[in-house]
Amino acid sequence: MIAVQSVLSRSLFGAILVFASLMVWAAAPASAQIRVTVGSITAANDQTAPGNARALQETLRTSLALEIEKARKDGKCDITSIDTSEAFVQGRETEKKLQKQGYAKKDGLLQSKMSVSDAINGVIGFDGDGGYDYMIDVSNVVTKKSVARVEGSARGGRTLEAADKIAQEIVEKLCQKKAYRFQANNHDLKIDQTVCDVSKPFTVNAKAPMAGVRFSLTPSGETGGSFSLAGPAAGVTWSGGGTYTQSLSDSGGTLTLSGTWRIKSPVGVFSNNGTIPGKLIPFSSTECSGTAD
């Protein structure tokens, strides 16, 4: 693995940056879904046949598609594969030029179909025994962080066997990255925000017309905790706090805020008690993921 590791920062992450630059023109990734694509797998040294790298790259596309289909059928997570071959990318760039010149309609090809959340790139190196070692990295296009990494060997050049193993490990790791969408709607108060980890303190911001008010939640256990709120909205200053309860299951859950909120206005300070019901919607996403181990 020494030869592979020696070129990881130069080849692998360089490929990630190149691929990410190709995706600048794509629509923002759908946060509720993991949308992966195989970028490029390169040879680490002169002893490694470039054909092996290309074979692993193309075989991985098929293995990944099969593993993703299995995960979707099992209800494991919301994940899909996006094929962005060089020809497909060039075709999309050509379409963009035609649109700018007025020769093609701007709604001709939905950009959402090109939306990618995670790019898979890698590097392989000759192992001296007729096969090769590989290191595959998955990087979130939004955060630019590595969210999964797979290492191993293709003994005797068994590319199909290696691709199947890589695909299985990648899907398993990506589908472990789960988050919740917290949604609440009570009169003028509307909240719709991602919560990466409900077991740790987190904050959510209200949407218009209450934009400016922030809720800070501190869990004291699996069933809830305390919260505070503060911020300006609708021309007045808000403050307050209380407790919240939550209930979670595999299919989602609820989070209900109960407390007192006060407003400070030019004509005085007013307060009221209330309850804000909300729901937690689980979804698959790697936007919350840190660097892969």
Supply the pLDDT for residue 293.
54
> Do 183 and 142 share a structural domain?
no
**Token reading at 291:** 């660097």
> Do 268 and 166 share a structural domain?
no
pTM, rounded to two decimals: 0.57
Cβ atoms of 247 and 221 closer than 8 Å: no
> Do 203 and 168 share a structural domain?
no
> Do 183 and 166 share a structural domain?
no
Q: Residue 19 — φ and ψ, nearest 5°?
A: -65, -40
Supply the pLDDT for residue 25.
29
- CATH number for the domain including 231? 2.40.128
Total domains present in the chain:
2
- CATH number for the domain including 135? 3.40.50.10070
Supply the pLDDT for residue 28.
36
Print the domain residue range for 222. Answer: 178-284
Cβ atoms of 157 and 52 closer than 8 Å: yes
The list of the chain residues with pLDDT below 70 reads 1-32, 83-114, 177-178, 250, 287, 289-293
Domain boundary among 144, 174, 204: 174
> Do 81 and 169 share a structural domain?
yes
Residue at 202 is within a domain = yes
Cα atoms found within 13 Å of the Cα of residue 167, Cβ hemisphere only: 27
> Do 140 and 182 share a structural domain?
no
Residue at 258 is within a domain = yes
Count of residues making up the chain: 293
Strands 146-154 and 252-265: unpaired
Helix (H) or strand (E) holding 263: strand 252-265
- 114/84 Cα distance (integer angstroms): 8
Supply the pLDDT for residue 142.
73
- 135/10 Cα distance (integer angstroms): 13
Supply the pLDDT for residue 278.
96
> Do 116 and 134 share a structural domain?
yes
Supply the pLDDT for residue 4.
45
